[in-house]
Amino acid sequence: MGNNVSTKKFKSKERNKIAGKVGVYLILLIITAIMIVPFLWMLSASIKSNREVFLMDPFVWIPEVPKWDNYIKIWTKIPLLQFVQNTVFLTIVVTFLQLLTSSFAAYSFAKLEFKHKNILFLAYISTIAMPWQVYMVPQFIMMRGMGLNDKLLAMICLQAFSAFGVFLMKQFYEGIPNDLCEAARIDGMSEYRIYLKIMLPLSKPALSTLTIFTFVNTWNDYLGPLIYLKTETKKTIQLGLKMFIGQYSAEYGLIMAGSVVSLVPVILVFLCLQKYFVEGVASTGLKG
Amino acid sequence: MDAKKAARMEKLEVESADLMKQIRIEMDMKKKQKLIAKRESVQRKATAIRNNRRISREAKRDLVAYSFIAPNFIGFAVFTLVPIVFAFLLAFMKWDGNNTMEFVALNNFKRLIGDTFFVAALKNTIIYVIGTVPLTMIASLALAIVLNQKIRARGFFRTVAFFPYVASLVAITAVWSMIFHPSKGPINYLLLNVFGVPQANLPKWFGGGLVLFTLILFSVWKYMGYYMVIYLAGLQGISAELYEAGSLDGASTWQKFKFITWPQLRATTFFVVVMLTINCFKVYDIAIMLAGGGDGKLSISSTVLVYYIYQNAFNYWDLGYSSAIAMVLFVLVLIVTLIQFRYEKKLGE
């Protein structure tokens, strides 16, 4: 009798578990739909004619005659290739500088002892809570004074040296045991070699995380280029796309084709590096 | 040369002896250790002079450390620290960027009070922050908890949830403008034809009273994936033993969340809320892209602080006034962050 009750209980528990699982998947499917439908809509609209985009009855994801030439036209309607080139150049330079200088400085803060260390680090930390928008105007005036107005170099100076990068890398390096560096020092390795041969190879997760953040931020930045880049040949893809939307607000198919083009590189970078991503966030102390 | 050296040696020795005396009488262990370190450094300098080395080992060590920091710090100091100081000064000036600057004390701030557009921008920004921060936090935590379980295709779901964060704002706001288009968009089509909302009552998502709601909705959608990753990292730091112990005590799922997950995630939640608040106060591009129309101009119902900073600086060239608004933004962020820090500290005790 007692045995019977306990198996019954067990069975109902199992049933609850299965019901819970089904519930979880149901929630997940709904969330995934909410997350991904705008992207599918974008893809779908990018091969439709303007008449078909808002056609609801019947709604089709792929039109009978897909307008692939939206993807060809978009390159001739605006200097999209120039925009892409500018953005690629900017993003690569900024990301490279950011990774190099941040990890370099972070090594010093995490593993070396020196004078004024705390004050220097405080200077970095105190600006993390300072929105860039608070000092973007004086920054622009200063850069204009240096003759950097309307130059891509201004965007590089603006984005390549962030407190955030130093902070992120430092948190990660602090998780690497000091003994490793000590042993290398006893072997007579210089600090530069320790950084290069020991620390860098270990920091893949943190570097990947920083790459994703920097790449995404630089690629998608709008306000920075809006302030600095005035000549059309210097504009980034975000500015160019926005300009196109302003001029041809009814060319829905073309707008969507341009949007897809602007998304592809970031999505690719993210997919390549995402393997390290959660691990990177966890080990860089970004979780608090 | 030698006399100079001898004089320096003597000075260092006196200093060292003096420090020794202080060390003897100092009772506080922490201070004592500091003094000991100081004396060691003095002695090292003395040895360096005795051994005819030009720079001491300590100075060399500092130089190496600075050489690591310099590339980043120089850029950071020039392009961030200097403009920040400049911004503070500018808030008390009248300047158009070309002619001479004029000190106007608090005039810029006095002007703010009577400026209805500024007051609207302030109000809208605060409403946006109050709406977005808790909703994003709850949504990202819930998502992280679901995606931390052992389920099939977990990686796929995580990637998809992160997509909106990665996607470029211009592209994705263009999609939203179409989906939520008041007369042609599929959302209103569904409301009209499936849910039977009368044509006259169909929401105008980007106009009038609803625009802030749409901005909040969009922000939650775009940023929840990012904060989900942070929560996921936090969840992975909670030891499985805690949950096993909970199960043995017969805790329900809700109880496990309340007594294990939530308290263990306190630091993460704190970080998420602080970052979210700072980021939300910066809102600008979302507003001009969703509510700005073709020319990117915001009306009084959708304006935000950063928009007004930009307008005053780059359209009216009223740089002092623009900086005063920026100071309001900064002080707001600072106050909210400090309150959050104090609250977190109190919870910790």
In a domain? residue B102: no
Token reading at A207: 């570097």
In a domain? residue B98: no
Residue B282: CATH number of its domain: 1.10.3720.10
Same domain, B84 and B176: no
In a domain? residue B193: yes
* Chain B residues whose beta carbon lies within 8 Å of the beta carbon of residue A123: 76-77, 81
Residue A9 confidence class, pLDDT cut points 50, 70, 90: low
pLDDT above 60 for A287: no
The CA distance from B169 to B8, in Å, is: 64
- Is B217 in contact with B179 (CB distance < 8 Å)? no
Same domain, B64 and B140: no
Give mean pLDDT, residues A60-77: 85
pLDDT of residue A288: 46
Residue A3 confidence class, pLDDT cut points 50, 70, 90: low
Domain tally for chain B?
2
Same domain, B73 and B118: no
Q: Is A262 on the interface with B (CB under 8 A)?
A: yes
pLDDT tens-place string over residues A72-131: 888 888 888 999 999 999 999 999 999 999 999 999 999 888 888 888 888 888 888 788
In a domain? residue B147: yes
pLDDT of residue A10: 62
Q: Is A238 on the interface with B (CB under 8 A)?
A: yes
Same domain, B230 and B321: yes
pLDDT tens-place string over residues B52-89: 666 677 788 888 889 988 888 998 989 989 999 999 99
- Is A167 in contact with A245 (CB distance < 8 Å)? no
pLDDT above 50 for A2: no
**Other CB atoms within 10 Å distance of the CB of residue A121:** 18
Q: ipTM, 2 decimals?
A: 0.84
Q: Is B229 on the interface with A (CB under 8 A)?
A: yes
Its pTM stands at 0.84
Q: Which of B306, B329, B309 is nearest to B319 (CA)?
A: B309
Listed residues B60, B93, B126: the one ending a domain? B93
Q: CATH topology for A70-283?
A: MetI-like fold (1.10.3720)
Same domain, B34 and B57: yes
User: Domain range for residue B243?
Assistant: 107-348
In a domain? residue B100: no
Listed residues B35, B68, B93: the one ending a domain? B93
In a domain? residue B101: no
Same domain, B123 and B80: no
Residue A249 confidence class, pLDDT cut points 50, 70, 90: confident
Residue B134 confidence class, pLDDT cut points 50, 70, 90: very high
Same domain, B167 and B257: yes
**Other CB atoms within 10 Å distance of the CB of residue B181:** 18
Cα nearest neighbour of A26 on chain B: B146
Q: Which of residues 85-124 of B touch A (CB under 8 A)?
A: 86-87, 90, 97
Helical H runs in chain B? 2-25, 29-50, 57-76, 82-90, 107-114, 116-147, 154-166, 169-179, 186-193, 211-236, 240-248, 253-256, 262-264, 266-281, 285-291, 305-310, 319-348
- Domain segments of chain A: what residues? 2-45, 70-283
Same domain, B9 and B82: yes
Residue A1 confidence class, pLDDT cut points 50, 70, 90: very low
Give mean pLDDT, residues A168-181: 86
Q: Is A161 on the interface with B (CB under 8 A)?
A: yes
pLDDT tens-place string over residues A147-158: 888 899 999 998
Same domain, B117 and B84: no
pLDDT above 70 for B307: yes
Listed residues B93, B118, B134: the one ending a domain? B93
Residue B184 confidence class, pLDDT cut points 50, 70, 90: confident
Tell me which of A3 and A180 has the higher pLDDT.
A180
Of A59, A134, A220, the CB nearest to B330: A134
pLDDT tens-place string over residues B233-291: 888 888 888 888 988 888 888 888 899 999 888 888 988 898 899 999 999 989 998 88
The CA distance from A137 to B327, in Å, is: 12
- Specify the amino acid at residue A206: A
The pLDDT mean for chain A works out to 85
Of B157, B306, B334, the CB nearest to A133: B306
Give mean pLDDT, residues B10-32: 84
